[in-house]
Structure 1
Amino acid sequence: MQEDKLKFLFDQFDHTSEFDSFEELASGHINDTFLIKTIAKPYFVLQRINHKVFVDVPGLISNKVAISRHLKEKLKHLPEEQLRQQVLDFVNTKSGKPYYQDKDGNYWNVMVFIEDSVSFETVNNEEVAYEGGKLFGNFLFLTSDFPASKLTEVISKFHDMSFRFFQFEASLKVASNERWNIAKPYIMQVNELKEEMHILQNLKKSGEIRLRVTHNDTKISNALFDKNNKGLCVIDTDTVMPGIVHYDFGDAIRTICNTAAEDEKNLDLVNFNVDYYKAYVKGFLEEIETELSPIEIEYLPLGAKTMIFIMALRFLTDYLNGDIYYKTAYPEHNLDRAKNQFKLIESLTEKFKETEIDNLSHKN
């Protein structure tokens, strides 16, 4: 993107900084995100929200601004500098809106960049897994008294398993013969797991599991850490909306406990790391256990398996559809992502007994 356009967009927001340069932040499959470097700090993050994926961008931005305000209120005892390190700080436009819509219909928002922070695409030690658990657990704890009904459902049926199976079955009808045949072994795996993968949805539907505010994209790269690997801030709150705790727990485990990146082609490198799982569970429950019911805790391990599966299903569906949702770098990218997740499910299934919460002595 041209620098003069980014400078124009940045200058639509109510700040007192002078644009100096930019760099694109490549993390994420959906949106375009840029680090705006200014003459004097702080720097800023300028983001284009993909309105082809998110049909109600104003509602989405309203969600994340509301959650940010809620978190700031809960943490108002902290010094201002520390608060800016732990909660996303959004900047309004000069007209007072939390977003700017350009002439092409694109929506942009601006956040203050969190200095001296690091993020991880994969986890390489138990300390980061533990701190990640504390960070995401604390996010759920601090938002547990925010009425989920006040949030816009930014992606309809996002983790609805029946809906994802409907999409998958529709993709089978439009897939090219070549892609269908290549994906056949994984299509068979999907059908074998169908019944088990509906358990959490059925518990949610029956009301046995509570609907609450959830982040819905808790991959480890959406957690910021300080230089000492201590958790700082949960970021990328675009998908904050009503959900169940197992969505957030499971998606975090999906990335934290995968011994490889989610698009690693060498499946021998893809395994489920039980030690990282135990470390994450420990940190997570230290923060949120008092807010969870016994049945919510009991089904956390199934939440991990379910979220790995749903991502495998979504990657596979997009591959069969001809790559219309996720950004891809090469023709087989979505299939490689799907294969990766199915291998992770296989590894988790082999070790599932070790993941049961009662076996982890999490209160010790």
Structure 2
Amino acid sequence: MYNDILLDFGLNTADYSISSFGSGLINHTLKVSGRGEDFILQQVNTDIFKSPGDIADNIVSIQQYLKQIAPDYLFVSPLLANNGTTLVKSSNGEVYRLFPFVKNSHTVDFVNDEKQAYEAAQQFGRFTRLLKDFDIASLKYPLSDFHNLNLRWNQFITACKNAEKSRFDTAFAEIKQVHEHQDILKTYNQLIEHNEIPLRVIHHDTKISNVLFDDQQNGLCVIDLDTVMPGYYLSDVGDMMRTYLSPANEEETDLDKICIRENIFVAIHNGYLSEMGDALTQAERRHFTFSGQMMIYMQAIRFLTDYFNNDVYYGSRYTGHNLMRAKNQLKLLSEYKKTVAGIKL
């Protein structure tokens, strides 16, 4: 089924084997191997990314800029197809792109130790630092209002009003918790409405699997640039806090397993500031810890909103799945607030 797609990229399918690759949930990713070389073939999820051309334009702009100011930086960008662009459309309308496979590199799905957390945070910090003077106005928004906490709050309030009574009643305790943490929304709105922190070029999806490592567990670069767009550093730092700190992920149903690994928090802080320390404003430094609160809180709200909306966005593998995800994130938020407050940096 991929014959025509690979031919559009100049590859004869008779010479290559294709296998599933990675753990990404949004785009469908495959590894193409043969003739002593490897590639990554990816189908763009156009249900999520309505304008894949915007992503392609952003990547090209950033690639050209980095070639000028940091030519040695490893930037993994899509390859050109026969049509002169990086995107190829199949006969049934699916959109594909092809990446070079970086030899002697690998990804990880879970933060096992401080070194991984430090290296990942350093790579995301380096990416934003290198682009600190980039013309941010030239970037497009593949996902508008992606990390807009105020918007997510308003969607939550609307979903509460429209929820089935049975779902509303079942989640009453979680609704109460969301309101109890409303100080986070207040702080966020103050920062944004008063322009206390600047817009930057932000990755927006800083899970550990979006970093390439070498065999010595040194970070090489960041990958999966679909969500790169103007944003606030809170998003990148906060998403690392949300996804790195607990040994249990957002799918864990045993809430007693959710806790904060203080050493990982310190590693994220030190890794990110090793690159962005001189670039951050005083307001950004003051709200470094707050970034974790914001992103965990927002994800809890989004899961609960989807539960009230009958699981139309994240889907549900069992009854009450998104409610359990919200419980998970609210427990993480409580542990984060309690634990991080006592960490001296």
TM range, smaller chain: over 0.9
Match of 1:25 among 21, 27, 36: 21
Measured in 2, the distance between the counterparts of 1:211 and 1:48 equals 30
Paired residue secondary structure (1:216): coil
Match of 1:249 among 237, 246, 263: 237
Measured in 1, the distance between the counterparts of 2:70 and 2:316 equals 39
> Does the CA contact (< 8 Å) of 1:29 and 1:327 recur in 2?
no
Residue 344 (structure 1) aligns with: 332
- State the 1:133 CA deviation: 1.6
TM-score by length of 1: 0.88
Measured in 2, the distance between the counterparts of 1:291 and 1:241 equals 18
Paired-residue identity, %: 34
Cα gap change, 1:121/1:163 in structure 2, threshold over 3 Å: closer, same or farther? same
The answer to whether structure 1 residue 205 and structure 2 residue 193 are counterparts is: yes
- State the 1:237 CA deviation: 0.9
Residue 92 (structure 1) aligns with: 80
Residue 31 (structure 2) aligns with: 35
Match of 2:53 among 58, 75, 82: 58
Measured in 1, the distance between the counterparts of 2:156 and 2:15 equals 45
For structure 1, the 5+ residue unaligned runs are none
Match of 2:294 among 289, 294, 306: 306
Residue 311 (structure 2) aligns with: 323
Match of 2:184 among 173, 179, 196: 196
Measured in 2, the distance between the counterparts of 1:16 and 1:210 equals 47
- State the 1:56 CA deviation: 2.0
Provide, for residues 295-349 of structure 1, a one-character-per-residue CA deviation record: whole Å limited to 9, x for no partner.
Answer: 1111010011101111121122222222222355444443333222111101111
> Does the CA contact (< 8 Å) of 1:21 and 1:38 recur in 2?
yes
Alignment of 1:1-364 (within 5 A): 5-14=1-10, 19-41=15-37, 43-76=38-71, 78=72, 86-326=74-314, 328-355=316-343, 359-360=344-345
Cα gap change, 1:120/1:67 in structure 2, threshold over 3 Å: closer, same or farther? same
> Does the CA contact (< 8 Å) of 1:14 and 1:92 recur in 2?
no
- State the 1:215 CA deviation: 0.5
- State the 1:136 CA deviation: 1.0
Cα gap change, 1:211/1:316 in structure 2, threshold over 3 Å: closer, same or farther? same
For structure 2, the 5+ residue unaligned runs are none
> Does the CA contact (< 8 Å) of 1:200 and 1:303 recur in 2?
no
Say what the alpha-carbon RMSD is for the aligned residues.
2.1
Provide, for residues 137-195 of structure 1, a one-character-per-residue CA deviation record: whole Å limited to 9, x for no partner.
Answer: 11111111112111111111111111111222232244344433333222221222224
TM-score by length of 2: 0.92
> Does the CA contact (< 8 Å) of 1:7 and 1:19 recur in 2?
no
